[in-house]
């Protein structure tokens, strides 16, 4: 009777000894105590977990980085190119674009030129006093409105033929060199003055006639704030020299029609940007 009892006790002790050794070995196993379990051993995540898998996380970070660097969401963009306005190159159009890229035919001359009833810095009835009929009538209203606000404007130079522009340009090149001349004078056929839709203006004191000092004057500020109401835009904006190809000219206004002028002015862009034809070449 004692032999079976002793045998049972010995077996129990041996079993307990082996179990304890195995437990101590698992606690010291670095593969189990330090590193995470494999996917098969992980607990399933709740169905409402919104965390992205690794690839999507990377994509999300790339998107954030792109936006941070200045890329804009097209759905909220108000850039002129979103309006898909096609560049108007018809010489007869009030909205025609003429710049260093787009030119007029050498023999183009508007057939509806008139003498606007506005004061100029000279008295002679010569070509540079003329504008196309629609633009001229709009100019009369603009000058009248300025006068009502106590602002006196004078015309300096409006229509200019291809031949006249060629003579002027060549004279400027001789005087200042071609590179300098191209910053303020158009190559023949590329001048807005040939359209009969553009005019240079100045103040009644005639102090800053087609000069940088016209910027900041009462007359320049009035034009900036009111020209669009009469269908005109400040054609060569400050800070847009690399787009228009010309220096800032607050005295040069261009007729494009009221609706278009108000749209361009509201956007604060150039005609090139409005038509999405930038940049111009030099």
Q: Given this model, what pLDDT does residue 82 score? A: 53
71 pLDDT higher than 80: no
Tokens of 215: 């910027």
Question: In the structure encoding, which two tokens stand for residue 237, read together?
Answer: 């904006």
Same domain, 247 and 261: yes
Establish if 92 belongs to a structural domain.
Answer: no
Residue 166 lies in a domain: yes
Residues 166 and 271 placed together within one structural domain of the fold = no
| Section 187-197 average pLDDT | 98
Q: What CATH number is attached to the domain comprising 235?
A: 3.30.1380.10
- Apex CA 26: angle with CA 25 and CA 27, to 5°? 95
φ and ψ of 8, to 5 deg = -65, -40
pLDDT tens per residue across span 79-90: 444 555 899 999
* Mean pLDDT confidence for 208-232: 98
CA–CA separation, 254 and 233 (whole Å): 5
State whether residue 169 is helix, strand or coil. Answer: helix
Mean pLDDT, range 13-38, rounded to an integer: 38
pLDDT (average), residues 165-173? 98
Is 134 part of any domain? yes
If one compares 2 and 119, the residue with the highest pLDDT of the two is: 119
**Does 151 lie in the same domain as 226?**
yes
Q: What is the pLDDT of residue 52?
A: 33
CA–CA dist 263, 261 (Å, integer): 5
Asked if residue 234 and residue 137 are part of one domain, the reply reads: yes
Q: Residue 185: which domain range? A: 160-195
Bigger pLDDT: 35 or 244?
A: 244
In a domain, 80, yes or no: no
Q: Are residues 271 and 164 in the same domain?
A: no
Q: Comparing 153 with 49, which gets the higher pLDDT?
A: 153
Contact 254, 93 (CB under 8 A): no
Active site residue 179: no
β-partners of residue 127 are: none
Does residue 206 surpass a pLDDT of 50? yes
Together in a domain, 176 and 267: no
pLDDT reported for residue 244: 96
Give the pTM.
0.71
Residue 65 in this model has a pLDDT that exceeds 70: no
- Residue 131: which H helix or E strand, with range? strand 131-132
Closest CA to 89 of 230, 166, 227, 190: 190
Count CB neighbours of 193 within 10 A: 24
Residues pairing with 200 in the sheet: 157, 252
Mean pLDDT over the full length of the chain: 79
Is 144 part of any domain? yes
Q: Which long-range contacts (CB under 8 A, 24 or more apart) does 108-117 make?
A: 108/162, 108/194, 109/161, 109/194, 110/159, 110/195, 110/196, 112/196, 113/159, 113/196, 116/140, 116/155, 116/158
> What digits encode the pLDDT tens for the residues 125-153?
999 999 999 999 999 999 999 999 999 99
| Mean pLDDT for the stretch of residues 161-185 | 97
Which residue of the set 249, 259, 262, 273 is catalytic? 249
Is residue 212 domain-shared with residue 168, that is, in the same domain? no
Q: How many domains does the chain have?
A: 2
Overall average pLDDT of the 182-200 stretch? 97
In a domain, 107, yes or no: no
The reported pLDDT for the residue numbered 83 is: 54
């Amino acid at each position: 009777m004692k032999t079976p009892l002793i045998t049972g006790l010995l077996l129990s002790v041996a079993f307990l000894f082996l179990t304890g050794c195995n437990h101590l070995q698992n606690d010291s196993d670095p593969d189990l105590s330090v590193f995470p379990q494999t996917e098969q051993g992980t607990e399933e995540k709740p169905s409402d977990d919104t965390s992205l898998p690794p690839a999507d996380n990377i994509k999300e970070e790339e998107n954030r980085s792109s936006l941070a660097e200045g890329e804009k969401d097209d759905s909220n963009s108000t850039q002129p190119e979103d309006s898909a306005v096609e560049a108007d190159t018809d010489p007869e159009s009030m909205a025609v674009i003429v710049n260093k890229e787009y030119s007029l035919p050498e023999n183009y001359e508007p057939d509806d030129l008139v003498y606007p009833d506005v004061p100029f810095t000279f008295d002679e009835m010569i070509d540079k006093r003329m504008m196309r009929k629609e633009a001229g009538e709009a100019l009369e209203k603009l000058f009248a409105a300025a006068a009502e606000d106590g602002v006196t404007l004078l015309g300096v130079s409006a229509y200019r033929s291809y031949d006249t522009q060629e003579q002027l340009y060549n004279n400027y090149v001789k005087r200042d060199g071609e590179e300098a001349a191209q910053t303020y004078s158009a190559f023949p056929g590329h001048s807005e003055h040939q359209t009969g839709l553009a005019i240079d203006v100045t103040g009644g004191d005639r102090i800053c006639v087609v000069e940088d000092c016209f910027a900041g004057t009462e007359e320049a500020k009035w034009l900036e704030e009111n020209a669009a109401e009469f269908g005109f835009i400040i054609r060569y904006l400050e800070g847009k020299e690399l787009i228009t190809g010309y220096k800032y000219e607050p005295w040069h206004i261009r007729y494009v029609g009221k609706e278009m002028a108000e749209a361009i002015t509201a956007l604060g862009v150039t005609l090139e940007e409005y038509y999405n034809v930038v940049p111009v070449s030099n």
